[in-house]
Amino acid sequence: MKAAYAEHFKVGVALPSAVFSGSDRLAAQLAKAQFNRITAENETKWKAVHDGPAFTFSVADGFVRFGRRNDMEIHGHTLVWHTDQPAWVFAGKGGAKATREELLGRLQQHIDKVAGRYEGKVAYWDVVNEALQDDGSMRSTEWFRIIGDDYIEHAFRMAAAAAPTAKLVYNDYNMWMPAKRDAAVALVKRLQDQGIRIDGVGMQGHYRTAGEPTIQQVEDAILAYKALGVEVLISELDVDPLPYAWDKLGADVGFNTELRAELDPYRDGFPPEAEEAHAQRYADLFRLFKKHSDVIGSVTFWGLSDDYSWLNTWPVPGRTNYPLLFDRHLRPKKAWYAIMAVARE
Ligand code: G3I
């Protein structure tokens, strides 16, 4: 797949430590054969490298080593997020919350250490992840409440200083929704107007087989970001074929609901018609990505094979899901063949 798309964009995959550490050797071989860029699914998040006041880099170092040994572009995910941040980050003295200055100091230390450690190795950083809500307003995170909305400016300035050669990205889901898209455009402009470096916009791409977004909606968003002069990354692509478990789209990790049989229809296998529709959706998306490969630098899948997908546990724990290109035996699915066919069109 990486060869088939070489003239268009890089093709990436998010890996868990079981794959990049080599304990799942077959999966590691498949990742090397198919993809030329990687993201750590969890292992470069704040909680993974900075859970207490001390930093723990051994697992993240292994991720970066895997990418370098295999000549893959390395994507760092993520320096600032609303979740998976340890509670101490926001705590002040005597049970109070941290002050703005304290929190900015911790952010500075984190970005210096983490982005600084991998300078020259990590090619892209998600500097801020998921700061916007679907209606375009700012998500009320601890960063926002304690520092104010300029926490984003601070984070990008710090990242530019710590990692001068890395490309700096704002990353979010539902980036096709018009209100959110317009807010993301305004956010990028706000940074650009202040002379703060931002190089890319990550459209996560947690989509579904049916329903929104339409291909037109995704295209409108790609063009809106392109007009800003930044690169577009399709940063966390998967296509969920299971029934809707709730009335919202996207990837809000805060949501969870109970397992009910009607929400888990493919426990015993993925029926051919459902697999065909799933493959068709991927083909439509890749046709669009190919059309806009002048601005899209990479397309990264959020997982290697169906058993590794986060969608087996979100938003309903315990479902059997089929969102990716390789099945539970690492065999290519119809979606893989469909994407390969689009490359030849
Ligand atoms: O590693 C622990 C394990 O020791 C423990 O026994 C188990 C019990 O819950 O939890 C394990 O950690 C889980 C971790 O994934 C590794 O599997 C966390 O609970 C779980 O919350 C975490 O979920 C990740 C989620 O982000 C939250 O960080 C998903 O794997 C990961 O796919 C997902 O990725 C996010 C992107 O970062 C941002 N965009 C949306 C995307 C999907 O939610």
Q: What CATH number corresponds to the domain at position 127?
A: 3.20.20.80
**253 within some domain:** no
In 10 A of CB 248, how many CB atoms?
12
Shortest-distance Cα residue to atom 29 of ligand 1: 310
Task: Tell me, using a 6 A CB cutoff, whether residue 320 lines ligand 1.
Answer: no
Sites in the chain below the pLDDT cut of 70 = 247-251, 253-256
State if residue 17 touches ligand 1 by the CB under 6 angstroms criterion. no
Interval between CA 320 and ligand 1 midpoint (Å): 17
Task: Scan for tokens 């893959």, then name that residue.
Answer: 72
User: Is 240 contained in some domain?
Assistant: yes
Give pLDDT, residue 255.
Answer: 64
pLDDT of residue 261: 83
What distance lies between CA 175 and its chain's CA centroid? 12
Phi/psi at 237 (5° precision): -85, 130
Q: Which of 344, 320, 323, 343 is nearest to 335 (CA)?
A: 323
**pLDDT value of position 147:** 98
Which residue's CA lies nearest to atom 9 of ligand 1?
313
Predicted confidence at residue 251, as pLDDT, reads 64
User: Does residue 281 sit in helix, strand or coil?
Assistant: helix
* Domain assignment of residue 110, yes or no: yes
| Structural domains in the chain (count) | 1
Q: Give domain status of residue 3, yes or no.
A: no
DSSP element (H, E) containing 299: strand 296-301
- Please tell me the predicted confidence (pLDDT) of residue 225: 98
User: Residue 166, CB half-sphere, CA atoms under 13 Å: how many?
Assistant: 31
Domain membership of residue 27 as a residue range: 10-246+265-343
Return the active site residues.
Answer: 130, 236
pLDDT for 260: 79
What's this model's pTM, rounded to 2 decimal places?
Answer: 0.96
d(CA 241, CA 193): 41
Is residue 260 in a domain? no
State whether the beta carbon of 199 lies less than 6 angstroms from ligand 1: no
Which ligand 1 atom sits nearest the alpha carbon of residue 78? Answer: 37
What is the tens place of the pLDDT at every residue in 177-186?
Answer: 999 999 999 9
Task: Report CA torsion sign: 104, 116, 10, 312.
Answer: negative
Nearest CA to ligand 1 atom 32: 310
* Phi, psi (degrees; rounded to nearest 5) at 205: 80, 45
The answer, yes or no, to whether any atom of ligand 1 lies below 6 A from the CB of 252, is no
Residue 256, domain member (yes or no): no
Cα(229) to centroid(ligand 1), Å: 33
pLDDT value for 244: 83
- Beta carbon of 340 within 6 Å of any ligand 1 atom: no
- Residue 194, number of CB atoms within 10 A of its CB: 11
Residue 303 carries which side chain, given as an amino acid letter?
A: G
Alpha-helical segments (H) within the chain: 17-20, 25-34, 46-49, 58-69, 100-117, 142-147, 151-162, 178-193, 215-226, 272-291, 334-344
Q: How large is the greatest C-alpha to C-alpha distance in the chain, in angstroms? A: 64
- pLDDT tens, 198-222? 999 999 999 999 999 999 999 999 9
Selection from 118, 116, 138, 113 nearest residue 128 by Cα? 138
In a domain, 1, yes or no: no
Q: Which among 239, 251, 110 is positioned nearest to 171, based on CA atoms?
A: 251
Residue type, 141: T
Q: What's the CA-to-centroid distance between 233 and ligand 1, angstroms?
A: 22
Is 69 among the domain residues?
Answer: yes
Mutation test residue for ligand 1: of 23, 41, 204, 207, the one with most atoms within 8 Å of CB: 41
Ligand 1 centre to CA of 254 (Å) is 11
- Predicted pLDDT of residue 334: 98
